Each structure stands twice: as C-alpha cells, then as structure tokens.
C-alpha cells in the first residue's frame, strides 16, 4: 500500500526538512520572528495549492474543501498583525496530473502531525496567538489522516503509479526545505 511505502521512502526528506524547521523555530524570540516563520509556510503552501488545485477536488479527496489550508496561515499573520510583510520566493514541483498532486497533498496533510509539536515549542517560547494553522484538525486529526491515506491507497495502484507519487512527495519536501535556506527575503508578486 502506498500509505505504508511512502512514509519510508520520504523519511530522509522529512528529516531534512524537520531539522531546518526546528532550527528556525527555536530561534523565534518574538511575534516578528514568528511572522517570518509563518510567511515561509504561507508562501510555499499557497504556491503549492495553486499548482495542485487543477488536479484534485472533493470528489477524489474527502474533506478537500474543508482542509486546513494556506488561508489559515494568512489569518494567523493577520492575527499577529503582520499581514502585509514580504514573502520569500518559492519554487514548487511541477505538477501535471492527479498522482503528482496526491504526492504534494500527502506532504501538506501529513504536516498536520508535526504541527502539534510546533505549537508546543511555540508555547514554550511565549507564542500563543496566531497558531490556527499549526493546530491543524485538533481531535479530528487521526480520523482525517485515515480518510486521506485510505483515498490515496484506493487511487494509487501499481509500482509505476506509486513511484510517481513518491517522487512528487520527495520533491515537495525538498522544495520546501530550500525555502528555509534563503536568508534574505525577497518580495513575491
């Protein structure tokens, strides 16, 4: 099943990204720093959502229309009063079809799991406002993740299809990790 193999096949990419996210997270001292952190997620997730949007909808992915998405990040930036800041430039994987879109969505939906940990670290650093995105689905997290992985398992069959989804997921992790390498923010759009 793709839901089992993809976890192992993307383990390294997840770890590489996780390290960068944690390094930036631990350096947060105030809401301005937190706004910078949020802007990385906002720039990348909104770009990625635009790229995969044409290939996914509610009929293929349960709760797709209510998933926690980049608008949560925008709202969180507004909550802490930094909605007009500059955004880092981002590159997202080329997405041409449903399978590649699934790989990218896997990364975004799975990030809800890490979000719980991010909220706890932020709290220790005194950041408690504007955390709706990282709070994810709260008590519904497990149920929604199970629904997502079930849909993925039904829609991805055969080795070639699995390889396509895994490649897209690995690229999605890697492109996001690159966003954290930019020391200087450049204005997007």
Which residue in the set 39, 46, 111, 164 belongs to the binding site for ligand HEM (CB under 6 A)? 111
Rounded to a whole number of angstroms, the minimum distance from the CB of residue 91 to ligand HEM is 15
Report 117-136 residues binding ligand HEM (CB under 6 A): 117-118
Q: Which of 161, 165, 157, 159 is nearest to 109 (CA)?
A: 165
Q: For residues 62 and 114, which CB has a smaller minimum distance to ligand HEM in the complex?
A: 114
Q: For residues 81 and 150, which CB has a smaller minimum distance to ligand HEM in the complex?
A: 150
Q: For residues 77 and 175, which CB has a smaller minimum distance to ligand HEM in the complex?
A: 175
Report 10-39 residues binding ligand HEM (CB under 6 A): 14, 17-18, 21-22
- For residue 80, the surrounding DSSP H or E stretch is none
106 forms part of the interface with ligand HEM (CB under 6 A): yes
DSSP string, 100-157: HHHHHHHHHHHHHHHHHHHHHHHHHTT--SS-HHHHTTGGGHHHHHHHHHHHHHHH--
The answer to whether the beta carbons of residues 9 and 170 sit under 8 Å apart is yes
Q: Which of 110, 76, 97 is nearest to 168 (CA)?
A: 97
Q: For residues 8 and 187, which CB has a smaller minimum distance to ligand HEM in the complex?
A: 8
């Amino acid at each position: 099943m793709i839901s089992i193999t993809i976890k192992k096949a993307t383990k390294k990419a997840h770890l590489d990204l996780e390290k960068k996210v944690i390094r930036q997270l631990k350096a947060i001292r105030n809401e301005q720093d937190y706004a910078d952190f949020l802007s990385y997620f906002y720039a990348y997730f909104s770009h990625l959502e635009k790229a995969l949007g044409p290939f996914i909808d509610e009929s293929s992915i349960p709760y797709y229309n209510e998933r926690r998405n980049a608008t949560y990040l925008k709202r969180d930036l507004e909550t802490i009063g930094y909605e007009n800041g500059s955004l880092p430039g981002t590159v997202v994987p080329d997405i041409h079809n449903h399978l590649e879109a699934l790989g990218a969505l896997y990364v975004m939906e799975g990030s809800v799991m890490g979000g719980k940990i991010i909220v706890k670290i932020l709290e220790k650093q005194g950041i408690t406002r504007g955390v709706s995105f990282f709070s994810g689905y709260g008590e519904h997290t497990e149920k929604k993740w199970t629904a997502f992985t079930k849909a993925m398992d039904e829609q991805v069959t055969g080795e070639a299809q699995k390889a396509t989804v895994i490649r897209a997921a690995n690229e999605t992790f890697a492109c996001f990790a690159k966003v954290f390498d930019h020391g200087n923010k450049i204005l997007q759009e």
